[in-house]
């Protein structure tokens, strides 16, 4: 199961239903329901988030066999609080310690989403070289074991470039964005309704067991799909 903790907005239920619909269509042999093991909880502030991780999750995770905990996002709960950064350090450290304890005790993965802030000039901060830096600063940077950076570029690709070839045995084709010519084998009716997808980049900033690499992808109605893009075509614009 999955425990999803929201701190700044409502849970994207419409997006979840879109993914469920596609999975049920493409995998009819699967379970009847894909949402029975998704547990959603909204917390409005820093104290509620820390209490949720300290008291509620340790009971939920083993009883419902939760394998993934998502916090969306950690930064929103702490940045919304009044007070100095010093007053937020102890709750932030408590949150990090409890998440580590939860992960090691119950063998679960924890995805804690952070935000970024702009920095002037190009400088290296917490493994990042560029115009952004993690919002929660050094206090949070020292608590995580893996840092991943998702970047949205200003490169767009039309779905027409990635339409599966009729009769192809490959049900999950890669998005080869280097070829812009449309073959006669493409579905023309679908091509007319083609929309543009924003290419994004996932980059490993720090991980003890992974080397620093990156990959490009697009977000579609089917989920995240690989995109083959030449580096010179990508120009990062925002995150």
Q: Can you list the domains of the chain with their CATH numbers?
A: 2-145 (3.40.50.300), 153-238 (no CATH)
Question: Band of the pLDDT at 51, cuts 50, 70, 90?
Answer: very high
Question: Band of the pLDDT at 165, cuts 50, 70, 90?
Answer: very low
The predicted pLDDT at position 200 comes to 93
Q: Hunting for tokens 């599966």 — which residue is that?
A: 164
Three-state SS string over 2-57 comes to EEEEECCCCCCHHHHHHHHHHHHHHCCCCCCCCCCCEEEEECCCHHHHHHHHHHHH
Which of 70-74, 167-171, 193-197 is modeled with the greatest confidence? 70-74
Measure Cα distances from 203 to 83, 181, 217, 232 in Å: 33, 29, 11, 16
pTM beyond cutoff 0.75: yes
Question: Band of the pLDDT at 122, cuts 50, 70, 90?
Answer: low
| Strand-strand pairing, 2-6 and 68-72 | parallel
DSSP E strand stretches across the chain: 2-6, 38-42, 68-72, 109-113, 116-125, 128-134, 147-158, 175-176, 196-206, 214-220, 223-228, 236-238
The whole-chain average pLDDT of the chain stands at 81
162-186 average pLDDT score: 45
Q: Does the structure show a pLDDT above 90 at 7?
A: yes
Encoding tokens for residue 193? 């309704």
| DSSP annotation of 104 | H
Question: Band of the pLDDT at 231, cuts 50, 70, 90?
Answer: low
236 vs 173: which has the higher pLDDT: 173
What share of the chain in percent tops pLDDT 90? 50
Give the integer Cα–Cα distance in Å for 162 and 191: 10
């Amino acid at each position: 199961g999955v425990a999803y903790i929201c701190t700044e907005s409502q849970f994207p239920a419409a997006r979840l239903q879109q993914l469920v619909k596609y999975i049920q269509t493409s995998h009819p042999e699967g379970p009847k329901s894909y949402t029975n093991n998704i547990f959603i909880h909204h917390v409005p502030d820093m104290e509620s988030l820390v209490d949720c991780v300290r008291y509620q999750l340790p009971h939920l995770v083993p009883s419902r066999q939760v394998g993934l905990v998502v916090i969306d996002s950690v930064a929103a709960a702490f940045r919304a609080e009044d007070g100095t950064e010093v007053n937020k350090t102890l709750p932030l450290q408590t949150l990090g310690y409890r998440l580590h304890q939860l992960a090691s005790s119950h063998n679960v993965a924890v995805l804690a989403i952070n935000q970024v802030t702009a920095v002037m000039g190009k400088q290296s901060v917490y493994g990042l070289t560029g115009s952004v830096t993690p919002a929660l600063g050094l206090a949070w940077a020292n608590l995580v074991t893996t840092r991943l950076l998702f970047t949205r570029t200003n490169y767009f690709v039309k779905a027409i470039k990635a339409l599966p070839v009729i009769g192809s045995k490959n049900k999950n084709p890669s998005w080869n964005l280097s070829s812009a010519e449309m073959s006669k084998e493409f579905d023309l009716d679908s091509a007319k309704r083609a929309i543009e997808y924003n290419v994004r980049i996932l980059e490993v900033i720090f991980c003890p067991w992974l080397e620093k690499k990156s990959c490009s992808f697009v977000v579609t109605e089917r989920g995240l799909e690989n995109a083959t893009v030449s580096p010179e075509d990508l120009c990062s614009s925002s995150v």
